[in-house]
Structure 1
Amino acid sequence: MTMKKRRKTAITRKRLPVRESSFPGNSCKILIIIIVAGFASLSFGFGDANHPHGEEPYALIFGTVWSADGRPLYGVRVKIRAEAKKAHWELYSDHSGEFAQRVPAGKADYLVTADLKGYKPRAGIHLQGGAEVTVHVENDERIDIGLHLK
């Protein structure tokens, strides 16, 4: 018996090029970027040209409370009251004698009063009474005032 040698032939398959799936990696990243950009553009879209981001316009009443000898006073109660409205604010002067309060923008008169009832004078400082100023606001602006106590 004769044996034929069988030649092993390898079956060659034509391999298809491996194609990276574009959906799980790149498309997800692009989709996330589009969504984030969309939400970011929404947040910038509110408000008008003068007041972006939906911020309400305001005026700032800024002042300093001074003693009779010209020193700034700490801890003096300052009251701000709108004359035409019931709106009012109460705040205290800081270590520099300064105070600041936002009020709605627009034409209005505000009565600003510095009251010494809660003030504890230091040695050598004797104060009586208070100071009062009427402030007229036209628009969204900063108004600086000085309250000189006697």
Structure 2
Amino acid sequence: MNTESCCARLRLPLLLLLLLGALLSAYPPQSLAQAPPGGRSHPGKSQPKEKPYALIFGTVYGPDDRAAYGVKVKIRRANEKKAKWELYSDHQGEFAQRVPAGEADYIVWADVKTAKGSSPPEVKVHVINDERQDIGLHLTK
């Protein structure tokens, strides 16, 4: 094999590669393009600012002290009668609910049937600001 035929075979692929590189550098993909000044991706449209929140995070335990799956948990402000939030515990017995930041008291309880005359387990949670409060709800037989 001589050097001239080797160079001739490499010339076309190298030329195509250089041409492709020039085209790609002239037109960067939209996802890699820099955002315009001001941090907005669309001029005239402002990004919604996320409001601060507190997080009530808890775990529901069954009578055997194991995590309880699928338990309905209700949360209300202490000064209100009706539940404002309803959610269910996951496979690890855990649940989490965002509540508005700021000083407030919340009542968290498991919405389960109980023996006559007894009330479902509930926990009072005091939130001061944008923080996380961890609680546990223990169910009884």
Q: TM-score range by the shorter chain?
A: 0.5 to 0.7
Aligned ranges for residues 40-119 of structure 1 at < 5 Å? 41-42=39-40, 54-84=49-79, 88-117=84-113
Letter of the 1:149 counterpart:
L
Task: Give the root-mean-square deviation of aligned CA atoms.
Answer: 3.1
Letter of the 2:40 counterpart:
L
Q: Which segments of structure 1 move beyond 6 Å, counting only runs of 4 or more?
A: none
**Between structures 1 and 2, the one with greater helix share:** 2
Q: How far 1:108 moved relative to its partner?
A: 0.4
- Identical positions, percent: 61
Q: How far 1:116 moved relative to its partner?
A: 1.5
Gaps of 5+ in 2: 1-25, 28-32
Letter of the 1:133 counterpart:
V
Worse overlay, 101-110 or 75-84: 75-84
Q: Count how many residue pairs are aligned between Structure 1 and Structure 2.
A: 105
* Structure 2 residue matching 1:42: 3-state secondary structure: coil
Letter of the 1:59 counterpart:
A
Gaps of 5+ in 1: 1-27, 30-34, 48-52, 118-126
Q: In structure 2, how many angstroms separate the alpha carbons of the residues matched to 1:38 and 1:84?
A: 47
Tell me the TM-score normalized by structure 1: 0.58
Q: In structure 2, how many angstroms separate the alpha carbons of the residues matched to 1:76 and 1:92?
A: 5
Match of 2:139 among 140, 145, 149: 149
* Structure 1 residue matching 2:36: 3-state secondary structure: helix
CA deviation vs aligned residue, 1:93-150 (integer Å, no higher than 9, x gap): 1111110000000000000011214xxxxxxxxx755210010000001110000111
Match of 1:136 among 99, 111, 126: 126
Asked if the contact 1:84–1:108 (Cα under 8 Å) also holds between the matched residues in 2, the reply is no
For the pair shown, the structure with the greater C-alpha radius of gyration is 1
Q: In structure 2, how many angstroms separate the alpha carbons of the residues matched to 1:87 and 1:66?
A: 21
Q: In structure 2, how many angstroms separate the alpha carbons of the residues matched to 1:105 and 1:87?
A: 18
